[in-house]
Structure 1
Amino acid sequence: MPSSQSDPFEVPLIDISPYVVGGADQDKARVAAEVDHACRTVGFIQIRGHGVPADVSSGLAEAMDDFFGLPMETKSGYRIEGANRGYSPPKSESLSLSLGVESATRMNDFFEAFNVGTEARSFTELELSEEDYGINLWPAVPGFTERVENYYAHGERVARTLTTIFEDALGLTPGFFESITDHSIDVLRMNNYALPEGTVTLDGELKGMGEHTDFGLVTVLWADQVEGLQVLGSDRRWHDVWPVDGALLVNLGDLTARLTNDRWMSTLHRVAPPVVNGTIKRRRSAAFFHDGNVDAVIATLPSFQDDSGLEYKSITVRDHIKAKLAGSRQGKSNAAAGREAARVLSAAELEIKQ
């Protein structure tokens, strides 16, 4: 992303191809060191060399266009109450409540979304509940399922490649992440940030997507090269981020922060309305969330414990995600997100002073 002398914040661009195509050990070590530095200092990365073909990404974008271009009445027929699947209409969520941060107007995020993900029945050898995963509801849009599933497979591959890099970067035993992700809750959330003319008031309370951290281990994000995504830097200021040509954005989730006791931060981000001349400019994104096994117990790893006693308490992936979703989708403030909420409020105080 662009930067200036007055705005030194920058999301590092890293070529991960040595892990994708099988590079030399020294090249992998360089990539792992770059990822460690990025995760310690920014929490967001841009990656190239990820191996996702351009036609797969463009196919995903076209599938999103086909679905989100449907009449609202048709799209609303794919809404599944209480499940992290299907359609979410505008103003049905408030991501800031997943952190326990009250916004002036509840459920005011104006994006619309469509979610698909891994189903419990995918793991026939395990006794898992679809209440923890969810059944996909595919829209009757020609070619939608095939194009989305094609991208989904690549998103999963990239996420697992990244966790392999994480093992090297953190000095963990090979296979550690596989042990907590072999029946991972994975979700692809396709977002649309444009609404029909006349359906929204452009005022100070309008949010594209409220400030939040992602729930799981790692997120792989495809996005348009349109402003809107903002990342909270260590300076407590919000910085604009968008992908360079051919790159994917990557950010860490809460569970990785818990594992590393915040050596690697689950970086706060939000989407501001991309308003141009009084009109919301269209922006699309698709986030692949790699969240971990529903029954995995996440605790600070021994190598990241210290004498401060501030390490996170143990929690299952199930309980963590349940609390976060209760905030964003059900309007129940998440009281367990104290560290993240404090950072949001600190940034807000700074904005008021400026």
Structure 2
Amino acid sequence: MPSLTVPQVPHYASAPVTKENLQYADLAVIDLAKAHDVEGRAQLALEVAEASKTQGFFYVVNHGYTAAQTERMFDIADVPFSCVEADDKIAYTASIKETGSFEGYKPRQYWHVDNGVHDQVENYSIHRDVTKREHPKALRPLLPEIDAFAQHTHFNVLHPILRLLALGLELPEEEFVKLHGFSAKGAAYVRFMKYYPRSVDDELKTNNVWLKGHTDMGTITVLYSQPVSALQILGKDGKWRWIKHIENALVINTGDTLEFLSGGYYKATIHRVVQPPADQQNHTRLGLFYFGMTDDAVKLVPFSSSPLLQRVGITRRFEDKDAPTMEEWGKARTSAYGTTVLKAAEDGSKFEEEVIAGVVVKHFN
């Protein structure tokens, strides 16, 4: 009979919610409890499609995890940072540049931000198959819970959202789900991410930007909401707005892969991370993510069979014959991110550009 107890880990105490009056983005709130019948899914599909084509960000509530379960996962998320010695971390450092994979540690100061300043962000990424590689000793007793978390987010969050997105394109609701297997070869992963406060000099040199504006490379990114305000999205009006913390909610954003598959109908939204408000600046910021991607072999071409796309048209970033596979796109973007020399955009805007797998990728400076 399995044990009813779980390994003890230190509690991660986050900062209180900021009291500052921030300009928050007005995002849709999607209630997944309504997705259990045909009528509910049809209504939610309209809401998700509208949010994904206009803002690329929305909240999800009633996702199947209790507040206590979410709190437990944040405690686990801090273990690779607070319970593993620096020397031990080296053995589990990801070979990001060489393999195009984030699996393992991404150490602090790996990514260049601006004006010679590098990041103060430490990551630990775990493939959705938690047995794929070895992990630090402190994490090993926690792997069953991390596996359960990955499976929950994949099947009870990612798949339901993919069904709604397919319905939004007037496709059979399993069309996107079929591309996102859990057991198939693919790079979807859990990420624990810890931001540390920076020096005054670094803040001045980067204008308080911790990660410059970018889009995510996958289909859907699932972020479990946490109290430290730092995430912002770029609106169509060119203004940055903060993402507000909602207790035990998820923040969902659409990535490049979904934009490719939807022929530009769903947008990959530019977002960034900045210094938190003054009342949170002495605290670390712990992130709990699930990055959804298609299976490796999927060729990232639009679903031209979509009746909706046939009516509104398809915007291609590359010709279908030149489209990369998910594996090619993911590895190319991973190995390049934060380490390549970016060029100023030719249109004179504040964007910087790089070409990855034949595709122009923009970053907001």
Where on the TM-score scale, by shorter chain, does this alignment land: which range? 0.7 to 0.9
Aligned to 1:16: 32
Aligned equivalents of 2:116, 2:301: Cα separation in 1: 34
Q: Which residue, 312, 319, 322 being the options, matches 2:317? A: 312
State the 1:275 CA deviation: 5.6
Is this contact kept in 2: 1:56–1:150, CA < 8 A?
A: no
User: Within 5 A, what are the aligned runs for 1:1-354?
Assistant: 9-19=25-35, 22-23=36-37, 25-70=38-83, 71-82=85-96, 83-94=101-112, 103-105=114-116, 108-119=118-129, 135-141=132-138, 143-157=141-155, 158-182=157-181, 183=184, 184-194=186-196, 201-205=202-206, 207-274=209-276, 276=278, 279-302=281-304, 303=306, 304=309, 310-313=315-318, 314-328=323-337, 330-331=339-340, 334-336=354-356, 341=362, 344-345=363-364
The amino acid across from 1:11 in the alignment is L
Unmatched runs of 5 consecutive residues or more in structure 1: 97-102, 123-134, 349-354
| Alpha carbons of structure 1 residues 298 and 338: separation in structure 2 relative to 1, 3 Å | closer
Contact 1:43/1:266 (8 A) holds in 2: yes
Q: Comparing 301-310 with 246-255, which one deviates more in the overlay?
A: 301-310
Structure 2 distance, partners of 1:162, 1:52, is: 16
TM (norm. structure 1) is 0.79
**1:42-80 deviations in Å (ceiling 9; x for gaps):** 110101111123232112111122321134333333213
Question: Percent identity between the aligned chains?
Answer: 20
Cα deviation for residue 81 of structure 1 reads: 2.0
Distance 1:191 1:166 in 2: 27
Q: TM-score, normalised by structure 2?
A: 0.77
1:149 to 1:331, Cα distance in 2 relative to 1, 3 A: same
Question: What is the identity, as a one-letter code, of the residue corresponding to 1:116?
Answer: I
Distance 1:307 1:13 in 2: 26
What amino acid is aligned across from residue 312 of structure 1 in structure 2? R
CA distance in 1, matches of 2:153, 2:43: 23
Whether contact under 8 Å (1:36, 1:169) holds in the other structure is: yes
Deviation at 1:233, TM superposition (A): 1.0
Shift of 1:192: 0.5
Helix, strand or coil for the counterpart of 1:14?
strand
C-alpha distance in 2 between matches for 1:171 and 1:165: 10
Counterpart of 1:131?
A: none
Deviations 1:72-117 (A, max 9, x none): 33333321323321111111124x7xxxxxx4337x2221110001
Contact 1:85 1:137 in 2 (8 A): no
Per-residue deviation, 1:308: 7.9
Q: How many residues align?
A: 317
Distance change in 2, residues 1:198/1:109 (3 Å): closer
Contact 1:16 1:48 in 2 (8 A): yes
Following the alignment from structure 1 to structure 2, what is the Cα–Cα distance between the partners of residues 34 and 61? 29
CA RMSD across the alignment? 3.1
